[in-house]
Every structure is written in C-alpha cells, then in structure tokens.
Amino acid sequence: RHPLDVGDVIDKPQNGSDIYLTINHYLQAIAEEELEKGIKTVNAKSGWAIMMDPYTGEILAAAQVPFFDVRKYRTYFNSEDLKETAKFKAAVDLFEPGSTMKPITLAICLKANEELALEGRVPIFLPDEKISTSNGHFPGRSKPIQDARVHKYLNLYLAIQKSSNIYVATLVDRLINTMGEKWYRDALIDLFGFSEKTGVEFPFEASGFVPNFNKYYQNKAPEWSKSTPYSLAMGYNILTNSFQMIRAFSIIANEGKDVTPTILKKIIINDDGIEKVLVDNTKNFDFQNRRQILSRSSCRLIKKSMKFITKPGGTSRLADVYGYTDAGKSGTAEKIVNGRYSKDKNISSFIGFVPVEKPKFVLMVVVDEPEKKYVPGLGPAQIGGICAGPIFKEIATRSLNYLGVAPDDPFGYPYPDPRSDPTNADWSLEVKYLAELYNHWNK
C-alpha cells in the first residue's frame, strides 16, 4: 500500500469581527459605582440601572449589583445561589411597575382626547380640571382604591406630584366608558409595546404580560375582569421588563417619537484588508424619520407634571438633581412570590430624565427587595423615591458633570448652599402655585 499523497492542507484563518457597543465606559463606571453604594445603603438583595439616549435608543450604561465576574463564569452556573447573578435582570426579570406606569396612563388618556377631538367629541378630562379623588370605589373591586393620604380634589399636575391612585383610576374609568376596554388594552401594546420584546440585544429578553380578554390563569380566574383597567392604571396586573419601561419614558422625553433600545452600534469584519460591515445600527439612529407615537403637546404636559416630583410637595425629593431641571416618577410594588403578593418583599424604582428640555439621557434605577424599615422624617425605606431616588440622583449628577452639561437651573440648589435662590429657581413659581391650589381645594 502506498500513502495517498495529497500535499499540505491549510485552512485559511478567518479574522474575528470587531463589535462596537453603545456603552460609554465612563458612564458605565459611574453607574456601577453609585449603584453598588446605593444597594448597600438600603440593604437590598440586588439592583440594576440602565441609561439610554432617548433620541437614538443607544444604551449608554447597563449596571447590575451583585456583579457578574466573567473570569469565574463556571462558578455561577454550578451554584444555585449565583445563577441569578449570571443573568441581566433588566432584560430577563419581569415585575409590576407600580406608580411609574402613571405617566403612561396619562399619555394614553391624552391620546384618547386627541382622537375624540378629531371626531368633534368632548374630551374625557382636562389637565387643569378639578377632579374629586375622595371616593376610591370602582367597578369590580371588593376593596376601595386608596392613596397614601386623602386628597379631596386634584388636577393632572397635582395627581402626579402626589402620585394619586384614585386620580388615574378615575381617568381610566372615563376612558373605558368612552373608548372601550379594548381600545385601552390596544393602546398599551400599540403605543408602548408592552407584552412585546423591545429587541435589545441582551439574551433572553422577556416579553412581559398584558392581560387579555377570554383568557384564563391557571387557577381558572379570567385574565381580564371588571377591575383590571383600574389595576393597570396604577401599574398592577401588568408585567414589564426594564427596557420596556425606559423605552416608554424615552418616548415621552423625546416628545413622542418611537425609539428602540440597542446596545450594538456596528459589527465589522476585516477580510484581507477589505472592511465589511455586517451590522450597522447607526442607520436606525435617525430621529427625524421615526414614527410619531404621541403628540408633542401631550408629551410636554406629561413632562411638566413630572417636573414637580422631586421638588417641594413631591414624593421623590431625594431624587432631585441639584442645578438641573429633571422629570421622573417613582414606583413601588409588592413582589409576586409563589403566585401571591408578598407583604415583606418589594421591587422599587425611579425613572427620570435630565434636563427636561432635550434630555441627555433617560435613567432607570431598580432596587430589588430593599430593607423594610421606617426612616424618620422620610417614611418607609422601601418606597421607590427613598431607596431608588438617591441612586438616580447620584448617577445623574456625576454623569452630567462628565458630559459637560451646564446646569439649566443654576438657582435650584437647597439651602444653605450659596447657589440656592428659591425665588429664581426654574420650578419656584409653578410649585408655589400648585401648593396654593392644593391647599385651596383640600382645606
């Protein structure tokens, strides 16, 4: 026998691809540092923060605590305790957003007003309208809806400032009686994409959940009942991931344009000196040609209402980014454990953007299972404005300084800071007016 002479067989090596991410490593470092400090301060199980450009959808930072050490990845998959850390919870974990849903509820109601106006019909509400909020009884509910404190009357701006459950439930009651329950459900999906993946490139993104008609849970209870719309208004009975929420707030921040979160700019391969672009997401960053989801006027109303959250009279004073205008909303929800609401475990959050006009970023901070205790002078420590708000403030403040963004509210500092001048602060006159109006309506 003679060996077959085939000569030398050489496999030509292939170059790997160059992947360009949207992450800004300075902003990433800031987010990781402040998130770690904040999670330790509130003694929480875990937490995450994502920062996004509201115009392009670029994810500028994506942090999570506890950290995942890629150098020891095998240990994570061999340990039940560490498996949770190996997934990026902002994409994978679903939760009820709670009160962060309220600005979205308002956006849907304003959208209904615009459709009614085109038909020559009466709007379901007016932003300045004096609406009674003393009665929390709504159809299908065995227990009345309650606010943290009793308010007799509120308008849109006061309702967001005070985070009123009864106000948003009242608007949704008018909404479904005018537009129908199907219109409301469709708006949650068609306008904001709830129950649908955003398409962000993190693995295993969860779709979320919006209850549907004529469908049932495993216990045979209907997904959609008479009480469902009122729960949805407050951010309950709906499951979202964090990218869905930051996308929704980005639509409001950029004044109505569609936006898709992405962590990927480009994938390029160099083949024998010839550069080939395999993926180019920068083509999608063109803001002007995007679909207009909400009107600019509606977004401006909602942005204005969220300006008062972190100011005197608001529920999230600890999230105030001194020297800048900011807009945001806190949320606190009971976690679902084994199919039931837990009285001991919460998931709390704060979403906001800075500055209010032409924001540089939208930032969401989520705190998973903060310690439950009472903080003198503030309230329950697990509330989103108390545990997530300060983390938002620190990440936002340092990020704006790094980006070189000049303060747009140079007098908006607290006393005794020498820069403090409440009479000339951006929010001063509006907050004073709201306080006087609230006292007049709620004597």
Question: Is residue 29 included in any domain, yes or no?
Answer: yes
- Tell me how crowded residue 334 is: count the other CB atoms within 10 A of its CB: 17
Angstrom distances, CA of residue 206 to CA of 70, 94, 107, 119, 318: 23, 7, 24, 38, 31
Mean pLDDT for all residues in the chain: 94
C-alpha 221/C-alpha 244 separation (Å) is 27
Span 317-323, average pLDDT: 97
Helices and strands (H and E) in the chain: how many:
14, 12
Residue 4 lies in a domain: no
Q: Is the per-residue pLDDT at 134 higher than 60?
A: yes
User: What does pTM read for this prediction?
Assistant: 0.93
How many separate domains does the chain show? 1
List, for residues 7-52, the tens digit of each pLDDT value. 566 666 677 888 999 999 999 999 999 999 999 999 999 999 999 9
Task: Judge whether 8 lies within some domain.
Answer: no
Displacement of CA 263 from its chain's centroid (Å): 17
**Closest by alpha carbon to 314, among 268, 265, 269, 379?**
379
Confidence at residue 5, expressed as pLDDT on a 0 to 100 scale: 58
| CATH number assigned to the domain comprising residue 235 | 3.40.710.10
Residue 2 has pLDDT above 60, yes or no: no
Using the predicted structure, report yes or no on whether residue 145 has a pLDDT greater than 80: yes
Give the pLDDT score at 365. Answer: 99
Give how far the C-alpha of residue 9 lies from the chain's centroid of Cα atoms, to the nearest Å. Answer: 56
Report how far residue 145's alpha carbon sits from residue 109's, in angstroms, rounded to the nearest whole number. Answer: 19
| Average pLDDT for 98-114 | 98
Q: Within 10 A of 413 (CB to CB), how many other CB atoms are there?
A: 18
Kindly report the number of other CB atoms within 10 A of residue 317's CB atom.
Answer: 18
| Cis peptide, bond prior to residue 66, ω within 30 of zero | yes
Tokens of residue 268, six digits: 């390029």
Element (H, E) at 384: helix 384-387
Rounded-to-5 percentages of helix, strand, coil across the chain: 35, 20, 45
Q: Of 133-147, 298-312, 332-346, 393-407, which range is least confident? A: 332-346
- Assess if residue 143 is contained within a domain: yes
Indicate whether 146 pLDDT > 70.
yes
Q: Give me the helices (H) in 136-180, please.
A: 156-162, 165-178
* Whether the Cβ atoms of residue 32 and residue 47 lie closer than 8 Å to each other: no
Distance set, CA 173 to CA 40, 167, 213, 270 (Å): 41, 10, 18, 59
10 is a domain residue: no
CA 214, 216, 220, 224: dihedral to nearest 10 degrees?
-70
Give residue 314's pLDDT.
95
Domain that holds residue 219: 17-441
Amino acid 358: pLDDT: 97
Q: Within a domain: residue 31?
A: yes
9 within some domain: no
> If DSSP states are collapsed to H, E and C, what string results for 81-97?
HHHHHHCCHHHHCCECC
Q: What is the pLDDT of residues 221-272, one digit of tens each?
A: 999 999 999 999 999 999 999 999 999 999 999 999 999 999 999 999 887 7
Note the pLDDT of residue 284.
83
Mean pLDDT of all residues in 376-396? 95
3-state secondary structure labels for all residues of 319-336: HCCCCCCCEEEEEEEEEE
Q: Is 3 a member of any domain?
A: no
Ranges 6-15, 325-334, 350-359: which has the least confidence? 6-15
Spatial distance between the Cα atoms of 333 and 100, rounded to a whole number of angstroms: 10
